[in-house]
Amino acid sequence: MFKEFILDDFENSAKNLEILIDENKKELEELLKIEEKTYDNFVVPYQIMGERLEQFCTPIFHIDSVKNSENTQKIYDECLPLISIYGSQLSSNEKVYTAFKDIQSKYNSTLNIEQQKVLENEIRDFALGGCGLSDEKKQELEKINLELSELGKQFSQNLLDATNAWEMIVENEEDVKEIPSSDLEAAKFTDEDGKVKYTFTLQMPSYIAYITYGTSREKREELYKGYNTRAPQNGQLIEKILKLKEQEANLLGFDNYAKLSLATKMAKTEDEVINFLYELAKYSQDKAHEELEEVRALAKEDGVDDLQSYDLAYYSQKLKEAKYDIDEEYYRPYFEKDSVLNGLFDFLYKIFNIKFNIVDAPAWDEKATVYEISENGKPTARLYVDLEARKDKRGGAWMNNWHSHSLIDDKQQLPTAYIVCNFPTSSDTSPSLLRHSDVVTLFHEMGHALHHILSKVGQPFVSGINGVAWDTVEFPSQFLEYFSYDKDVLKMFAKHYKTNEVLDDAAIDKLIKARNFQSSLSTIRQIEFALFDFKLHQELYNEEQTQELLDTIREEISVIKPPVYSRFQNGFSHIFAGGYAAGYYSYKWAEVLSADAYYLFIENGVFNEQLASKYKEIVLGKGGSIDMNELYYQFASRKPDIKSLLKIDGIIS
């Protein structure tokens, strides 16, 4: 029923990919010979070909992220140009483009909504892929796409290599006296002379531990500087990436890459995005200044008169503890990784009537676990979960889709997906104990996974997250995050790993009250990133001008400026090595949807069966088959209100 995660003949992946691509090309030639092309005899087999290729490539590229090595890099580098060239050639194939338009023209009125959406998306994407261009310009576009793929991979690899190469040794016990015991134990080692020392790295669990609790201001800056000056060679890559994206946009008839990006999004104009971000900033800036002044006042009591970016997490944590009496370390024994995950499964069963059961199936690491999802006793999906940090894993957290739900010719394909995080590592003597922020991250990625694996759409190209506008794809993930602060939900899994004692009401109330701690500062930071990203793709910038643009936005928007040596952009993989170019605003755009949706649950009850069923059926079940603005209206019977987000974040009352 499910394809197992076994990379047969991994060493020959490129060779096998070539064979598969050749098979697809031959099959496409045969399809194009059909005189009377219809949806069933042309579009359906075309989708099956695309799915087949996606299912072959996804594990290969996934392995490079979760078990990175020289060998996985080599195989990735061999496969990337093959898939990039094939994708480029296919997306500019005039005959396929014409076939889709003819089918739409002749048969659209006889097709269902899903089928109509597949045609609509494909015709749009073929136009964006270069159909209508001269052969010379198509070749130019193909070359650009290949180079962009290679530069994105190089950007990401540079970042991973720089992260893994850097470490900070701390010898003075005074400098680590505030580090939580579990983090300190993970950092501890004994040198060859028998002296106990501590290693801190740029891996997220380690970085967060010292930047938040490290007593030494000098060491905090050393760590911060190491993180924010990683991969300086990426500065030149950014310049090349921006130039190529500008060329791509111009070739396709757009003034800039921002306009090209919006062609596939819910937001339709540049002004709509810019105005949206400035409106959020207008509501948030004054309160962000107030929040920062609170931190400055506390730092001054400690003799720090010039609060810097590398001080912010440290003194913010002290302020948070003072305001809410919250000690992150107190909570971590209640958030043991497996307990949290199983509790999340219990919650999802209660709200969506879906069950998660461990299955004995191969994965890429001994700590990656495979689950089968069932609804009403029937298996409906499979989920791979890999939560702990390790050196050969790319940093951050993400969801990857592998198979998409489909129902073609009475043959059902069940969906599969991966959830990957970088939580503290467990050992034979100590479990993986999470911060509440880690719990939020897990809920977030599970929201993405549910969006894909609960799809009931029959056409694979618009099933799950496929075909969902990029600026709304974060909606289901952010929506699920809110439940990680609900008292009844927390009580389902917040249990001490030694005593099984449930986290008490007072401690939970503190967490809930602290949720909006520095929410305005956080919002301003996200707006800074989003404006930088969007404006960066409206004009052409070189490396120096890129920094100048970021500095200008910070002068206008931000309330605290980083040190002059900071080169945040060189690590901004979301837009230079991911899919968020001219789309980072999507996080906030989608957050308006998620906040407004959650308000319905606040008003009607967290475990409201009817409302949850409606959300599952409409928002999750219909995937990308209908535009999200229409789906949202079907679900909520109203348009989303930006003030819902501002209220939930405590920015307005």
Percent over 70 (pLDDT), the chain: 100
Q: How far apart are the first and last CA of the chain?
A: 51
User: What value does the mean pLDDT take over residues 162-168?
Assistant: 96
Q: Looking at residue 8, what is its pLDDT?
A: 81
Q: What total number of domains does the chain contain?
A: 3
**C-alpha–C-alpha distance, residues 257 and 252, integer Å:** 10
Residue 51 in any domain: the answer is: yes
Residue 384 in any domain: the answer is: yes
Burial 552-578 (b: 16+ CB within 10 A, else e): ebbeebbbbebeeebbbbbbbbbbbbb
Helix (H) or strand (E) holding 423: strand 416-423
Residue 226 has pLDDT above 90, yes or no: yes
On whether the CB atoms of residues 494 and 511 are closer than 8 A, the answer is no
Q: Looking at residue 325, what is its pLDDT?
A: 85
Name the pLDDT band for 62 (thresholds 50, 70, 90).
very high
If asked whether residues 219 and 134 sit together in one domain, one would say no
Q: Looking at residue 328, what is its pLDDT?
A: 81
Write the DSSP string, 424-482: PPP-SS---B--HHHHHHHHHHHHHHHHHHT---SSGGGSTTTT--TTTTTHHHHHHHG
Using CB atoms within 10 Å of the CB of residue 89, give its burial: 0 to 12 exposed, 13 to 18 middle, 19+ buried: middle
pLDDT in tens, 353-366: 999 999 999 999 99
pLDDT in tens, 183-200: 999 999 999 999 999 999
Instruction: Using the 3D structure, point to which of 492, 515, 538 is the last residue of a domain.
Output: 515
Residue 314 in any domain: the answer is: no
pLDDT in tens, 544-570: 999 999 999 999 999 999 999 999 999
Which range marks the domain in which residue 211 is found? Answer: 166-228
Name the pLDDT band for 467 (thresholds 50, 70, 90).
very high
Mean pLDDT of all residues in the chain? 95
If asked whether residues 152 and 210 sit together in one domain, one would say no
Nearest to 600 by CA among 591, 592, 590, 608: 608
Residue 258 has pLDDT above 90, yes or no: yes
Residue 386 in any domain: the answer is: yes
Residue 409 has pLDDT above 90, yes or no: no
Residue 182 in any domain: the answer is: yes
User: What value does the mean pLDDT take over residues 327-352?
Assistant: 95
Residue 579 has pLDDT above 90, yes or no: no
Residue 502 φ/ψ, nearest 5 degrees:
-80, 140
User: What value does the mean pLDDT take over residues 638-649?
Assistant: 92
Residue 202 has pLDDT above 90, yes or no: yes
If asked whether residues 447 and 472 sit together in one domain, one would say yes
Residue 327 has pLDDT above 90, yes or no: no
If asked whether residues 155 and 170 sit together in one domain, one would say no
Cβ of 328: how many Cβ atoms within 10 Å? 18
If asked whether residues 115 and 23 sit together in one domain, one would say yes
Instruction: Using the 3D structure, point to which of 483, 515, 547 is the last residue of a domain.
Output: 515
User: What value does the mean pLDDT take over residues 293-299?
Assistant: 97
On whether the CB atoms of residues 155 and 570 are closer than 8 A, the answer is no
If asked whether residues 93 and 188 sit together in one domain, one would say no
Q: Looking at residue 605, what is its pLDDT?
A: 92
User: What value does the mean pLDDT take over residues 560-586?
Assistant: 95
Residue 270 in any domain: the answer is: no
Residue 438 has pLDDT above 90, yes or no: yes
pLDDT in tens, 480-525: 999 999 999 999 999 999 999 999 999 999 999 899 999 999 999 9
Residue 543 has pLDDT above 80, yes or no: yes
If asked whether residues 131 and 170 sit together in one domain, one would say no
Give the least confident one: 5-9, 31-35, 170-174: 5-9
Task: Give the active site residue among 248, 445, 474, 528.
Answer: 445
If asked whether residues 194 and 62 sit together in one domain, one would say no
User: What value does the mean pLDDT take over residues 75-94?
Assistant: 92
User: What value does the mean pLDDT take over residues 320-330?
Assistant: 87
If asked whether residues 76 and 30 sit together in one domain, one would say yes
Q: Looking at residue 7, what is its pLDDT?
A: 84
Name the pLDDT band for 76 (thresholds 50, 70, 90).
very high
Q: Looking at residue 482, what is its pLDDT?
A: 96
Can 445 be counted among the known catalytic residues?
yes
Residue 190 φ/ψ, nearest 5 degrees:
-115, 125
Residue 591 in any domain: the answer is: no
**CATH number of the domain bearing residue 486:** 1.10.1370.40
Name the pLDDT band for 456 (thresholds 50, 70, 90).
very high
If asked whether residues 149 and 16 sit together in one domain, one would say yes
Instruction: Using the 3D structure, point to which of 490, 515, 540 is the last residue of a domain.
Output: 515
User: What value does the mean pLDDT take over residues 98-116?
Assistant: 97
If asked whether residues 184 and 84 sit together in one domain, one would say no
User: What value does the mean pLDDT take over residues 137-161?
Assistant: 94
Percent over 90 (pLDDT), the chain: 92
Residue 6 has pLDDT above 90, yes or no: no
Nearest to 216 by CA among 196, 230, 200, 192: 200
Residue 1 has pLDDT above 80, yes or no: no
Q: Rounded to two decimals, what is the model's pTM? A: 0.86
If asked whether residues 433 and 398 sit together in one domain, one would say yes
Q: Looking at residue 326, what is its pLDDT?
A: 81
pLDDT in tens, 393-408: 998 899 999 999 999 9
Burial 254-270 (b: 16+ CB within 10 A, else e): bebbbbbbbebbbbeeb
Residue 642 in any domain: the answer is: no
**CATH number of the domain bearing residue 35:** 1.20.1050
Name the pLDDT band for 2 (thresholds 50, 70, 90).
confident
Using CB atoms within 10 Å of the CB of residue 195, give its burial: 0 to 12 exposed, 13 to 18 middle, 19+ buried: exposed
The amino acid sitting at 138 is K
